[in-house]
Amino acid sequence: MSIKVVQEYERAVIFRLGRLLPGGAKGPGIFFIVPCIDTYRKVDLRVLSFEVPPQEILSKDSVTVAVDAVVYFRISNATISVTNVEDASRSTKLLAQTTLRNILGTKTLAEMLSDREAISLQMQATLDEATEPWGVKVERVEVKDVRLPIQLQRAMAAEAEAAREARAKVIVAEGEQKASRALKEAADVIAESPQAIQLRYLQTLNSISAEKNSTIIFPFPVDLLSALLHQQQHSSTQQPSLSTQNQQQTQIQPINRSPVHKTNVFSTVVAPASQQYQMSPGTTYHSTIHSSDTSSKANLL
């Protein structure tokens, strides 16, 4: 007889002459075996883990991604795990790879990125059901990382940035709209009360003087400015009529030629600078010359 010891977290499956001894796995504690007749195999009942290598997966919307995961499992039945499968740990690892590819192949890229918890629970349920005949209990499955192609990452980053800019513009526009409404209401209230306008004017001057500026700007009253503009327009409308009267007074009327006598006189006719006279025979022009000491009249034939 030979004495063997197994730990609390271990179990021993004993075979005698190739047959499984009745009573199931032994342990924890000591057990006896017969040399050359009995053989045994220890099974660890603690939770084990392994990493699923990155899998190249084509998503439902035809996007190629690389996904890896972590699986946590334990041996729930030592006897079945020894008699039904050669290597329970390795078999569970291979099954996890294929299950990950099958499940993620039915998901879109958006679902992979947003529904990781649901994918993990679905993988856990699928693996647990498949490994139950092996005496394996899958405790937990976690999707570690979803790697996207570089071009797709840039495109998604640009799309996200554009969406953020659009939201920012909408927020700014809404703020300006609310501010304009508030300003309109304030303007309506101030317009109804002249005292409020004067108070606002004094408040503005007070705030300008408190800033210690070298230049102070005094607002020009709008009503006074409108009165000045109206007066200027009124004066501009009267000015053309006065200039027309002056032109009519300065025009020189032609005088018909008198046949009584014929005289050739060369004289200088003084006229306004704005008028030019052409002398032609057969027409008599009458012009009056005013000076400081003399007055004369000349007739040109």
In 59-203 the beta strands, taken as DSSP E runs, fall at: 64-75, 136-147
pLDDT score, position 35: 87
Max avg pLDDT among 175-179, 187-191, 232-236: 175-179
Confidence of residue 221 (pLDDT cuts 50, 70, 90): low
Q: Range with the lowest mean pLDDT among 152-156, 229-233, 292-296?
A: 292-296
**Bigger pLDDT: 241 or 266?**
241
Strand partners, 287: 298
pLDDT digits (tens, 9 = 90+) for 150-164: 887 787 788 888 888
Q: How many CA atoms lie within 13 A of 75 on its CB side?
A: 24
Indicate the DSSP class of residue 105: T
pLDDT score, position 223: 61
What value does the mean pLDDT take over residues 85-102? 92
Considering the entire predicted model, what is its pTM?
0.54
At the topology level, CATH places domain 48-148 in Tetrahydropterin Synthase; Chain A (3.30.479)
Q: Range with the lowest mean pLDDT among 108-122, 133-147, 205-219, 247-261?
A: 247-261
Q: What is the DSSP string of 28-47?
A: SEEEEE-TTTEEEEEEE-S-
Confidence of residue 238 (pLDDT cuts 50, 70, 90): low
Contact call for residues 147 and 54 (beta carbons, < 8 A): yes
Q: What is the sign, positive or negative, of the torsion defined by CA atoms of 199, 205, 207, 209?
A: negative
Indicate if the pLDDT at residue 226 is higher than 70. no
Which value, in Å, is the radius of gyration of the alpha carbons in the chain? 56
Indicate if the pLDDT at residue 230 is higher than 50. yes
Both tokens of residue 149? 């192609």
Please state whether the peptide bond connecting residue 54 to the residue before it is cis, i.e. omega within 30 degrees of 0: no
pLDDT digits (tens, 9 = 90+) for 57-73: 888 888 889 999 999 99
List C-alpha distances in Å: 30 to 7, 45, 166. Answer: 9, 17, 72
Confidence of residue 292 (pLDDT cuts 50, 70, 90): very low
